[in-house]
Structure 1
Amino acid sequence: MVVIYWLLIAVMVVGVIGSVVPAIPGSSLILIAVIAWGIISSSFAAIKIPLLVTGIVLILSMGVDFLAGYLGAKQAGASKWGQIGALVGLFLGIFGLLPALPFGGPLLGMLIGPLLGAIVGEYLYQRNLGAAVKAGIGITVGTLVGNLIQGILAISALITFIWSTWPQVYSG
């Protein structure tokens, strides 16, 4: 039972990483691990609070994900073109050409891709390089702040789970 507990915590750590890194499941993976522990331990009473916290974290993370990018784009005066460019740049950065770089790979592509994509998208729309760069930076900063908030939320879900279930696993 202890081995399964630590395997589920490892899955939750991947979920914490996924809450910050796109293309890896985040809070939903943590929620699945919490539910799995409830089934395995046959004690849903022990996971009532972690289940509630993780459900709230999942809902908040989805809201933060949408809101952070939107607010960053709005603050920088970005259009839909810049937002679409950032999304295309993110996918190209992670899966496209940027992973072939000699250093950084997909992680570097995750940072550079949305920035370049937003700049290109915004430039195609406005034909103003200064405004395009400003929009690209705004979208990127908004996304990074959103990812940081999602990471903090995911860590709180993990800590709540450990805090609530530790006595159940290690009680004498």
Structure 2
Amino acid sequence: MGVSGCGKSTVGEELAKQLGVPFAEGDKLHPASNVKKMAAGTPLNDDDRWPWLDLVGADLRKGYEADGIVISCSALKKIYRERLRESCGGPLAFVYLEGSVDLLTERMGARTGHFMPLSLLQNQLATMEVPTGEPGVVTVNIDASPEEIVANALKGLASL
């Protein structure tokens, strides 16, 4: 979990591979209207996010019932994470990918082919409710190689 550009997809895919479970890209669950809105530089609001979070939650439940899944999802607010916890049907861990504004800006500016424009990063950062102190959360700094980030995430998850 984390804001756009933090590496959710890259880290999530490798975590899933190392854990031997499927990976699902949460961005692919957004309705077309959300993608269109974000691509135009308009931030999503809670009403836009609830149906998407319900789809993510349904996939989490299916994954939980099938012995595991890793899903990338921004999960910016505590209330969103609570909704996902309720939907899951069992224990749910979050890996919060944390990074500086400069690093996030650099990463978002360098990527191509993604609907989320750099202009929405500040809105996501303002919306983010850092999950410090919440149960089942591992915080990993993204100022490292993908391999180090995944290793740190796995180490944190093992300690939960």
* Bigger-Rg structure (1/2): 1
Structure with more helix by fraction: 1
Fold similarity call, TM over 0.5:
no
Q: Which has the higher contact order (CA 8 A, sep 6+)?
A: 2
The two structures have a TM-score, normalised by structure 2, of 0.29
Is the strand fraction higher in 1 or 2?
2
